[in-house]
């Protein structure tokens, strides 16, 4: 009788194994880093270029592959929806977990009345990159921003 109870318990526990947790979904959308200085908002996004649509990579003249990421920085004054782009000089670099730092050449990209600053960095997934930014606006002290992102194959 006792062995039947043990077998029944084992079968019940085995049936519970079918509800194993599902793995987390990979995040393929940009994750925004934000810094504020008074009424000025600095936003930085990084996304693997392989996840961008072909039109965007063509318009931005950047590679679309599995080994590069796009860094996009905006510097705006005002409330969302009525904000104005501010001219800035952006200096950026990416550092991997082995401590290898690579500069990111940033360039101005105008879209209508707004201006963004873009650059690409090389990586080999899976990889974690730390991005260090220095933002210099005319007539203002330099701002810095540091954030990390993980990239999966």
| Within a domain: 124 | yes
CATH number at residue 81: 2.60.40.3340
Decide which of 130 and 27 is more confident. 130
Tokens 């950026």 -> residue = 92
| Within a domain: 8 | no
| pLDDT band at 152; cut points 50, 70, 90 | confident
Which residues constitute the domain of residue 33? 27-151
What is the pLDDT at residue 20?
Answer: 45
| Within a domain: 87 | yes
Tokens 């650059």 -> residue = 119
119-137: average pLDDT:
95
* The pLDDT of residue 19 is above 70: no
With CA atoms as reference, report the closest residue to 125 among 53, 44, 28, 59.
Answer: 28
| Within a domain: 9 | no
Q: Is 55 in a helix, a strand, or coil?
A: helix
| pLDDT tens figures, 45-76 | 999 999 999 998 998 899 899 999 999 999 99
* The pLDDT of residue 10 is above 80: no
* The pLDDT of residue 6 is above 50: no
Q: Are 87 and 115 in contact (CB under 8 A)?
A: yes
Decide which of 3 and 56 is more confident. 56
Q: How far apart are CA 46 and CA 131, in angstroms?
A: 9
Phi, psi of 118 (to 5 degrees): -130, 155
pTM listed for this prediction: 0.78
| pLDDT tens figures, 77-102 | 987 667 899 999 999 999 999 999 99
Q: Are 70 and 76 in contact (CB under 8 A)?
A: no
| Within a domain: 14 | no
| Residues shown for the chain | 153
Number of domains within the chain: 1
Q: Are 93 and 101 in contact (CB under 8 A)?
A: yes
| Within a domain: 16 | no
- The distance of Cα 37 from the centroid of its chain, to the nearest Å, equals 21
| Within a domain: 6 | no
| Within a domain: 20 | no
> Exposure string (b/e) for 53-69, b if CB count within 10 Å is 16 or more?
eeeebeebebebeeebb
129-152: average pLDDT:
94
What is the pLDDT at residue 111?
Answer: 86
What is the pLDDT at residue 37?
Answer: 86
């Amino acid at each position: 009788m006792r062995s039947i109870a043990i077998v029944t318990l084992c079968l019940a526990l085995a049936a519970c194994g079918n509800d194993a947790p599902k793995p987390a979904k990979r995040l393929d959308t940009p994750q925004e880093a934000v810094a504020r200085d008074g009424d000025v908002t600095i936003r930085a996004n990084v996304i693997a270029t392989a996840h961008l649509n072909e039109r965007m990579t063509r318009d931005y003249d950047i590679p679309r592959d599995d080994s590069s990421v796009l860094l996009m920085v905006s510097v705006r004054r005002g409330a969302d929806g009525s904000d104005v782009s501010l001219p800035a000089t952006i200096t950026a670099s990416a550092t991997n977990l082995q401590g290898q730092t690579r500069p990111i050449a940033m360039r101005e990209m105008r879209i209508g009345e707004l201006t963004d600053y873009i650059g690409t960095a090389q990586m080999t997934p899976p990889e974690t990159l730390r991005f260090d930014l220095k933002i210099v606006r005319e007539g203002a002290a330099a701002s810095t921003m540091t954030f990390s992102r993980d990239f999966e194959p």
